Structure 1
Amino acid sequence: MSKTLSMVAVLALATSSTFALAGEKSGLQPGDSVPAFVVEKCAGNANDGVEKGATLCYRCKLGGRPVVAVFTRSADENVANLMKEIDTVVEKYSDKQAASFVNLIGKDADALKQDASKLVEHSGAKNVAVVVPNDNENGPASYKLNPKVDVTVLVYNRSKVQANHSLSAKELNKAAIAQIISDAEKMLK
């Protein structure tokens, strides 16, 4: 009996829509509403009608569409791999108006803006915008991003969070990316 309960507990944790490694929570949680915030578009998604350098509420522009929003303190290879996979999902579910944007956060806004173009180039993504929030050091306060967490991914639809993934840069590996993509596709089916 206790073996069965242990197995059920493991399965419940493995299928949870909140994925936080190392015990660190970051960002809005499933069921939370997604508030507006202002960003500068720096690169990516040439077909979204937003010019590079434009300041806007990207979340507002996307409205109630299904979205994968990434908040990252790194523009490394793992983030590029995540962005590439998200790009594939956005393309695959274009009929459902799937969308995504990556928010680069950190102290130096100018360096973040330079990293944006490199990230788009490295990932090859065509359907994902890369932005820098006006609150660039830790992202918008209303999103409750943990300064100890490198990458926070919010999967949301109709402005409600469906899944949250909070990861260190090292934890953003193939398995974590696969779980994020699985949650995004689950939302879109």
Structure 2
Amino acid sequence: MKHVLAIGAALVLAAGVANAEEECLEVGSPVGAFYVADVTGPSAGTKLCYRCKFKDRPVVSIFAREVNDQVAGLVKQVDGVVGQNQDQKMAAFVVLLTDEPESAEGQLKTVAEKHGIQNTPLTTFDGVAGPASYKLPKDADVTVMMWVDGQLKVNESLKFGELSDSKVSAVLGDTEKILN
């Protein structure tokens, strides 16, 4: 009987691990279209699909469930990398995942002004889970995805406490994976 219980527990654990692996969009996967409300970008006040707009360009997308000082610092640094790589048509955008997108607009405008974010639109997505096809981990506070030619090259999920200077530097280094 103990062996049966042990085997059953092992199968349940294995199924849980398999489901956890399936939850994340894998590097090499195509990235799909989804719509956001642009708050600070060139299309401020409209809903659009940045995945569609940027097409095959090298793109950094930052999905956040909150935009605090740590996230704003990451965005500011990514914004600088985008500015330095305009010749390669690099792009970026931030997606605040929220159940109340309209109420977050003021905060995003303030963050963009305070941190001088110029090359990276701040947007909202209606729903904390994010776009279903992106399979954002439920326990991640921030997920950074990078793609080029519509194919995912980087998928890094973090909790706020993990967003250290060294982790931000590593994320910035990962932009080499999408630049030619």
TM more than 0.5 = yes
2:152 matched to which residue of 1?
Answer: 161
Distance 1:27 1:129, change over 3 A: farther
Question: What is the Cα deviation at residue 142 of structure 1?
Answer: 1.0
Secondary structure of 2:78's aligned partner = helix
Q: Distance in 2 between matches of 1:142 and 1:92?
A: 30
Match of 1:40 in 2: 37
Secondary structure at 1:155's aligned position in 2? strand
For 2:54, the equivalent position in structure 1 comes to 62
SS at match of 1:164: strand
Return the offset for 1:25: 8.9
What is the letter of the counterpart of residue 184 of structure 1?
T
Paired residues, number = 161
Extract unaligned runs of 5+ from structure 1: 1-22
Kept in 1, the 8 Å contact 2:56–2:149? The answer is yes
Q: CA deviation at 1:53?
A: 0.9
SS, match of residue 35 in structure 1: coil
Instruction: Using the TM superposition, give the Cα deviation of residue 58 of structure 1 relative to its aligned residue in structure 2, in angstroms.
Output: 1.3
| 1:92-150 deviations in Å (ceiling 9; x for gaps) | 110000000000012221222222112212321100001112x4322111111122110
TM-score by length of 1: 0.79
More helix as a share of residues: 2
Name stretches of at least 5 consecutive residues in structure 2 with no aligned partner.
1-19
Give distance in 1, aligned partners of 2:53 and 2:79: 18
| Distance in 1 of aligned mates of 2:38 and 2:26 | 25
- Counterpart of 1:175 (choices 156, 166, 178) is 166
Distance across 2 between alignment mates of 1:155 and 1:82: 14
- More relative contact order, 1 or 2 (CA 8 Å, 6+ apart): 1
Aligned sequence identity (%): 35
Contact 2:143 2:155 (C-alpha < 8 Å) held by counterparts? yes
Provide the C-alpha distance between the structure 2 equivalents of 1:25 and 1:181, rounded to a whole number of angstroms: 26
**Other-structure match for 1:11:** none
Alignment of 1:130-169 (within 5 A): 130-133=122-125, 135-169=126-160
Report the residue type matching 1:35 in the other structure: G
